[in-house]
């Protein structure tokens, strides 16, 4: 668009190339499931800001809470108590699985991952935390010790970067990261036999119940239950990164609720702030209490405006039963995708709830990544914004607001069908 070209010409010369607008849209406004670009063009937003807008853009209750708090006090600092932080601390504790939970407030997901690594070390006296193949936990130095992607790790030299990723058994229909298809559909001997698992210096494991950045890969049913048992036997902590999966997205309040497993520590972020940055480590008092005063603070942690938004987000999620809605909507989406018949194309619907991926398992084009790039471009031309993911870029990601209507879900699949067939609407 002309407006995008003007913006890009202003930004690009002075912005580091680490981020880029490869989807070709400049967003200026959002309401509910819709966003608008500089030219006033409307889109159905399947990205929800990387899964942040669980209640849609500018949800009235969240917006009102932000505006009221902003008018009072935007920022004081972690050194001071503040009513908004107190309210969110109390409110978040009511949805956590421990009788005596504690919360360590952070600003971004990556920072909370850094913090959880420190907590795990302080609580166990051991040093190493293991991640899983396909896992994503952020790109700061500590987080990169558990993020699997070797290219992301390549820039970091001050941390051990090799040999820390365990096999990730995936649900049927998914492709296990880093392994031949067909293997790894259950918790297996391959994890138990892994040289890193069970080492004397292993403080714990960090795992996603659905790998978001890894391409909407859902863990094999039973994986968490097995991990719970085996980590407990070894005195290791089971750490769940619920930054993406948390707050209803997978069809339950947290991903671990599907297996009725009690994790040792949970990392939270994204949806909690309703669009503003707030993140946290949560766990029982005996673990969170292990980190000494002043060992993890940051200027903007538990920002009052983000905290006020967080209380509203949790209230709406619970009163309107959004996690259950996400489960029903996710199933509708999967059923619609499975019913699609496109010559030369084979699709797999993967993921869980409204953390769904449409994996192009076979395409007319032998380069499936190039094929899906064309598909998301044609979807955008037809007014639907989606991002791609997965190791080969062959997964189109559906992480819309949890309150997306049936009509919008159906629309998204109709637009997908047209885009797969090669015509823009
Ligand atoms: N963990 C997971 C599971 C994530 O999805 C992300 C962000 N995509 C992060 C950690 C890092 O969070 P942030 O980008 O807020 O630092």
222 assigned to some structural domain: yes
Write the CB contacts of 15 (distance below 8 Å, at least 6 apart in sequence): none
Residue 241 Cα, ligand 1 centroid: separation in angstroms?
9
Question: Of 48, 52, 114, 136, which is best to mutate to test ligand 1, by the most ligand atoms within 8 angstroms of its C-beta?
Answer: 136
> What is the per-residue pLDDT for 112?
98
Q: Nearest C-alpha to atom 14 of ligand 1 is from which residue? A: 109
> What is the per-residue pLDDT for 378?
96
- Decide if the complex's ipTM is over 0.95: yes
Residue 109 Cα, ligand 1 centroid: separation in angstroms?
5
Enclosing domain of residue 174: 60-319
Residue 381 Cα, ligand 1 centroid: separation in angstroms?
28
Which of 73-87, 153-167, 353-367, 393-407 is the least confident region?
A: 153-167
The continuous run of DSSP H or E covering 376 comes out as: helix 368-381
> What is the per-residue pLDDT for 42?
98
The torsion region of residue 270 among left (phi > 0), alpha (psi -120 to 50) and beta comes to left
Cα separation, 256 vs 259, whole angstroms? 6
Cα separation, 265 vs 238, whole angstroms? 7
272 assigned to some structural domain: yes
20 assigned to some structural domain: no
Residue 389 Cα, ligand 1 centroid: separation in angstroms?
14
Position in ligand 1 atom list of the atom nearest CA 208: 3
Question: Of 49, 52, 109, 273, which is best to mutate to test ligand 1, by the most ligand atoms within 8 angstroms of its C-beta?
Answer: 109
pLDDT, average across residues 382-387:
97
Total domain count for the chain?
A: 1
Please list the helix, strand and coil fractions of the chain in percent, rounded to the nearest 5, in that order.
35, 20, 45
> What is the per-residue pLDDT for 232?
96
Q: Give the confidence band of 2 by pLDDT, cuts at 50, 70, 90.
A: confident
Position in ligand 1 atom list of the atom nearest CA 212: 5
Cα separation, 236 vs 228, whole angstroms? 9
419 assigned to some structural domain: no
The answer, yes or no, to whether residue 173 has pLDDT greater than 90, is no
pLDDT, average across residues 174-199:
72
281 assigned to some structural domain: yes
Residue 261 Cα, ligand 1 centroid: separation in angstroms?
22
Q: How many CB atoms lie within 10 A of CB 161?
A: 17
Contact call for residues 208 and 238 (beta carbons, < 8 A): no
350 assigned to some structural domain: no
> What is the per-residue pLDDT for 1?
76
17 assigned to some structural domain: no
Residue 267 Cα, ligand 1 centroid: separation in angstroms?
10
pLDDT by residue (tens digit) across 226-247?
999 999 999 999 999 999 999 9
Of 55 and 184, the structure prediction assigns the larger pLDDT to 55
Residue 269 Cα, ligand 1 centroid: separation in angstroms?
8
CATH of the domain at 268: 3.40.640.10
Q: Give the confidence band of 425 by pLDDT, cuts at 50, 70, 90.
A: very low
Cross-strand partners of 44: 34, 384
Cα separation, 242 vs 280, whole angstroms? 10
Complete DSSP assignment for 104-121: EEESSHHHHHHHHHHHHH
The answer, yes or no, to whether residue 220 has pLDDT greater than 70, is yes
Residue 152 Cα, ligand 1 centroid: separation in angstroms?
13
395 assigned to some structural domain: no
Of 205 and 391, the structure prediction assigns the larger pLDDT to 205
pLDDT by residue (tens digit) across 292-335?
999 999 999 999 999 999 999 999 999 999 999 999 999 999 99
Mean pLDDT of the chain: 92
* DSSP structural state of residue 302: T
Query: What pTM value is reported for the model?
Result: 0.96
Both tokens assigned to 277: 């940055």
Position in ligand 1 atom list of the atom nearest CA 245: 3
Complete DSSP assignment for 39-105: T--EEEESSHHHHT-TT-BT-HHHHHHHHHHHHH-S---TTS--HHHHHHHHHHHTTSSSSSEEEEE
The answer, yes or no, to whether residue 193 has pLDDT greater than 60, is yes
Q: Nearest C-alpha to atom 2 of ligand 1 is from which residue? A: 137
Residues with CB under 6 A from ligand 1: 50, 108-110, 113, 136-138, 208, 212-213, 241, 243-244, 269
Q: Give the confidence band of 186 by pLDDT, cuts at 50, 70, 90.
A: low
């Amino acid at each position: 668009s002309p407006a995008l070209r003007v913006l890009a010409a202003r930004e690009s010369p002075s912005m580091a190339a680490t981020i880029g607008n490869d989807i070709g849209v400049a967003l200026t406004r959002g309401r509910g499931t819709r966003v608008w670009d500089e030219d006033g063009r409307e889109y159905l937003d399947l990205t929800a800001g990387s899964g942040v807008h669980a209640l849609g853009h500018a949800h009235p209750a969240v917006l009102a809470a932000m505006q009221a708090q902003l008018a009072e006090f935007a920022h004081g600092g972690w050194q001071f108590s503040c009513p908004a932080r107190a309210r969110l601390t109390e409110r978040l504790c009511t949805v956590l699985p421990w009788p005596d939970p504690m919360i360590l407030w952070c600003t971004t997901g990556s920072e909370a991952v850094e913090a959880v690594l420190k907590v795990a070390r302080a609580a166990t006296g051991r040093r190493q935390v293991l991640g899983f193949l396909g896992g994503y936990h952020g790109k700061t130095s500590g987080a990169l010790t558990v993020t699997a992607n070797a290219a992301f790790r390549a820039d970091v030299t001050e941390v051990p970067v090799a040999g820390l990723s365990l096999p990730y058994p995936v649900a049927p229909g998914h492709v296990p990261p880093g392994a031949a298809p067909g293997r790894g559909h259950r918790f297996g001997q391959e994890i138990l036999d892994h040289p890193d698992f069970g080492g004397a210096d292993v403080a714990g494991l960090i795992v996603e119940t659905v790998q978001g950045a890894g391409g909407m890969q859902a863990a094999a049913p039973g994986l968490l239950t097995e991990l719970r048992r085996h980590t407990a036997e070894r005195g290791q902590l089971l750490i769940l990164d619920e930054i993406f999966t948390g707050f209803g997205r997978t069809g339950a309040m947290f991903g671990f609720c599907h297996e009725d497993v009690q994790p040792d520590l949970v990392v939270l972020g994204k949806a909690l702030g309703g669009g503003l940055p707030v993140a946290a480590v949560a766990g029982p008092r005996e673990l969170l209490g292990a980190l000494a005063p002043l060992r993890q603070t940051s200027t903007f942690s538990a920002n009052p405006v983000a905290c006020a938004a967080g209380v509203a987000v949790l209230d709406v999620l619970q009163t309107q039963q959004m996690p259950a809605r996400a489960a029903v909507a996710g199933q509708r989406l999967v059923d619609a995708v499975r019913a699609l018949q496109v010559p030369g194309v084979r699709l797999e619907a993967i993921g869980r709830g409204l953390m769904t991926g449409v994996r192009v398992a076979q395409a007319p084009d032998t380069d499936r990544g190039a094929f899906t790039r064309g598909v998301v471009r044609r979807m955008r031309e037809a007014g639907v914004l989606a991002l791609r993911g997965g190791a080969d870029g062959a997964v189109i990601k559906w992480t819309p607001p949890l309150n997306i209507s049936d009509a919008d879900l159906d629309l998204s699949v109709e637009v997908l069908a047209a885009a797969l067939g090669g015509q823009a609407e």
